[in-house]
Amino acid sequence: MDCMVNHDFLDIEYNGKLPMIIFTERGWLIQSDQYTNELLEEWMEWIKQGKRDPDMMYLKDRNREIIFLLLEKIKGSGNQSFIPYLELWKKIEYKKVQTEITKVITALEQNNPVDGKAEQERKKRIGEALEINEPQDLLLKCWICGDRFIFTVGEQQFHKKKGLSLPKRCGKCRHSYE
């Protein structure tokens, strides 16, 4: 867990005194892509098994970003075998999602070539997000005396765990006000 926090995949947010683990933007980008791939693989397995009438309620009220990403990946696959599942899903969804499902079904039926630029851009962003950058000491400026001071990685981790923001004063000014 600490490694995931230290490398900016997860963050600690405080609700009063209670800490809550949340995804960072970087972590969510990776997680959402992985989760939609798992959903897509599940549908591929249904096709292999010849499953005809799966309960699509498990997709209702899911995170919209995940839903639209899944639809984008289905469209990008060009696999017309997904159409029966899309039709079932469309019956139980809200209008906005129904509209997107209809667009995907139409694209699959018309066998429209998909512009892969969006998927390439997403893969590039995921690749960049997976690059692990080691935490580094920060050079901060004291807002009282104006001197620069080093905020070490260890201090950053302590502040993050306690839900504290970056210090605004150097050690000397901090001690003089205590």
Give mean pLDDT in consecutive 10-residue pieces for the chain, a chain of 178 residues.
Answer: 77 82 89 94 96 93 92 92 96 95 94 71 75 78 90 85 84 81
Instruction: Report pTM.
Output: 0.67
Half-sphere exposure of 1 (CA within 13 A, CB side): 6
Give exposure, 131-157, as e/b (b: 16+ Cβ within 10 Å): eeeeeeeeebebeeeeeebeeeeeebe
Q: How far is CA 81 from the centre of its chain?
A: 28
Query: What's residue 102's pLDDT?
Result: 96
